Amino acid sequence: MATTYDKIQSTTLASAAASITFSSIPATYTDLRVVLTGTVNGDTAYMTFNSDTSALYSRTWMTGDGSGAYSGGGTNENNIRLAGLFTSLINTVPALITVDVFSYTGSTFKTCLTTLSVDKNGSGETAREVGLYRSTAAITTLTLNAGVSTYTTGTTATLYGILKA
């Protein structure tokens, strides 16, 4: 059996940064998976592909915040919003964000599934989202933005490649 789950790139911030970029992503895998654990000095986190900030992104999400469950979405957006819908990521306890990007080198539009888990000892959120990037180009760069703010020191992000048979 082939080994199929590889770490491609990883970083742990030694100082606050506005974004984390995985570049020169090899085309040798089928899917990508990002795991980010950290905090943001602001409210939100975003993701873009291939440094493309045109209005080619959309998303549908649902979330629970301890008192209710909600769903929403957005079309023709400039990025995929990963967090900050209901709960700020400003916290000393890290949030966990995962992103699965399917068929990232394929000739179809790119669908991704994301999760957000954050608990602040009295408030928090567990969210799931499906995102779409309406481009047929292979993804070679993935950027995690902190909006107008920064990811804090110690935030860790890892990019994995998953290969099918």
Partner 1 sequence: MPILGIIASSILTSSSSYESIATVTAAGGEASLIFSSIPSTYKHLQLRAIARDTSTSTGSTGYGLRLNADGGSNYTFHRLNGNGTSVTAAGSVSQSFLNVDQSSLGGSSTASVFAASIIDFHDYSSTTKNKTVRMFAGGDGNAAGGIYYLGLSSSVWLSNSAITSITIYAAQNAWAAGSTFALYGIKG
Which residues of the shown chain bind partner 1 in the complex (CB under 8 A)?
1-11, 13, 15-24, 30-31, 58-62, 64, 69-73, 75-76, 100, 102-103, 108-109, 111-113, 115, 128-132, 134, 136, 150, 157, 159, 162-165
The two three-digit tokens of residue 42, written as one number: 């602001």
- What single-letter DSSP state applies at residue 17? B
- If the CB atoms of residues 121 and 162 are measured against partner 1, the closer one turns out to be 162
The two three-digit tokens of residue 18, written as one number: 């506005």
Q: Measured from the CB of residue 126, what is the shortest distance to partner 1 in angstroms?
A: 10
- What single-letter DSSP state applies at residue 83? E
| Calpha distance 63→88 (Å, rounded) | 14
Q: Measured from the CB of residue 101, what is the shortest distance to partner 1 in angstroms?
A: 9
- If the CB atoms of residues 99 and 121 are measured against partner 1, the closer one turns out to be 99
| Calpha distance 144→107 (Å, rounded) | 23
Q: Measured from the CB of residue 44, what is the shortest distance to partner 1 in angstroms?
A: 16
| Calpha distance 8→32 (Å, rounded) | 9
Q: Measured from the CB of residue 120, what is the shortest distance to partner 1 in angstroms?
A: 22
Closest to 112 (Cα-Cα) out of 53, 46, 42: 46
- If the CB atoms of residues 70 and 121 are measured against partner 1, the closer one turns out to be 70
